[in-house]
Amino acid sequence: MTPLYAIVGCAILLGRAVSAQGGPWSQCGGQGWSGATSCVSGYTCVYSNQWYSQCLPGTSTQVTPTPTQTSNPGGGGKTKYGMCTSLPASDWIKVVMEAAGVNMAGFDFGMATTGTQDASQILTPPNEQMAHFVNDDKMNIFRLPVGWQFLVDSPGAQLNTGDFARYDSLVQACLSTGAACILDVGDSSSPISSAQSANGMLTDARWNGAIVGQGGPSNDQLANIWSQLASKYASRSQIIFGVMNEPHDVPSITTWAATVQACVNAIRTAGATSQIILLPGNDWTGAATFVSDGSFAALSNVKNIDGSTTNLIFDVHKYLDSDGSGTHTDCVTANVDVFNNLASTLRGAGRQAMVTETGGGNTQSCITYVCQEVATLNSNSDVYLGYVAWAAGAWQPSWNYALDLVPTQNGNGWTDTSLVNACFKRT
């Protein structure tokens, strides 16, 4: 298997198959790019910046500067995941090429808002899916959601040995593909049933209905699980830590930022000093409200122990259906203005974000809009590290889930859903 990324000096270069012409919306140029530099009929290679050119609809002739190889752009320095310690933030963001992958759902099911767990709803995501997505679709990142209540029996407790072992098997399978692996701890969600179309993700920043650090478990109790997880994966540069999935209706965003700070301190103190940590905001950490609801300002104050913000990346979500919930099979927007506006704010502050949930149904409307959204993210690849689609993994067929991206295995081969094939598969 060709690894998805190889560290050359301090630059991460994503491996891609070289083809004669790039497909719709695919990359076709940029520093470090070694793939196709022309596009299929009806698409033109359009220059965005020195790091990215893309096949966009049109037939006019575009001149794309000749891509050059970046090698050790910082002149040395210890390599971190996606950056060099010797580079200032304004430079290291440029050597990180975009990440693309899928969520692997399953360990996030069965958590009720009361804090109880229905173990019958929990499903173990198939490891084989990740190997397929890496080998056949050239993806390079997976998000592995898991319930806080699944991993520990009570806030602040030690990891449940048996349940952690089950989750760790998924993490190890992810690591073995060479991809980046997001450990995403969540709180409560309702079990999925055939009558429900909610995505079933773990949400709330709550335990037993009470908000962490604001009447519920203490900051130290949430930080405790991150200390334990970081201790186990501190040596693995591929690991990314996702503090909490989709906090919402949090009364004080500044108090929530203090909770996030406690988790960052715990992760760094446990020895995971260089990995990316994802910082979630209020309002389901939505990209559209990330600035207006105060999340950007409050989380900008979260720092590493040394006072830096290196590898502290904002965690944002955005769906494309009529109410932005990710519960409908049809899409109505490409979120172009949302992501361009947030990109401007990020760029002005010298910060970055990762879109760890987005997607739509396997419908023509979603194929159109999701591909346009991906194009927008790619055109702002200096501030968006990448995107992770929702969701593959384990889904019961009876759930009739709207955003199911589970591939079908046919003997030794796999067939992807239409949305993966059109928008998330890379060539």
Enzyme catalytic residues? 246, 357
Q: What's the rounded Cα separation, in Å, for the pair 154 and 285?
A: 25
Contact (CB, 8 A) for 284 and 317: yes
Which H or E run contains 409? strand 408-410
Q: What sign for the dihedral angle of Cα 394, 397, 402, 406?
A: positive
In this structure, the strands spanning 408-410 and 141-147 are unpaired
For the chain, state the CA radius of gyration.
20
In this structure, the strands spanning 141-147 and 99-105 are parallel
In this structure, the strands spanning 210-211 and 206-207 are antiparallel
In this structure, the strands spanning 408-410 and 239-242 are unpaired
User: Can you count the helices (H) and strands (E) in the chain?
Assistant: 10, 19
Contact (CB, 8 A) for 8 and 71: yes
Alpha-helix residue ranges (DSSP H) falling in 121-160: 127-137, 148-151
SS3 405: coil
Q: What's the rounded Cα separation, in Å, for the pair 228 and 138?
A: 31
Residue with tokens 């502290």: 312
CA distances to 118, 146, 287, 421 from 97, rounded to whole Å, are: 40, 27, 21, 21
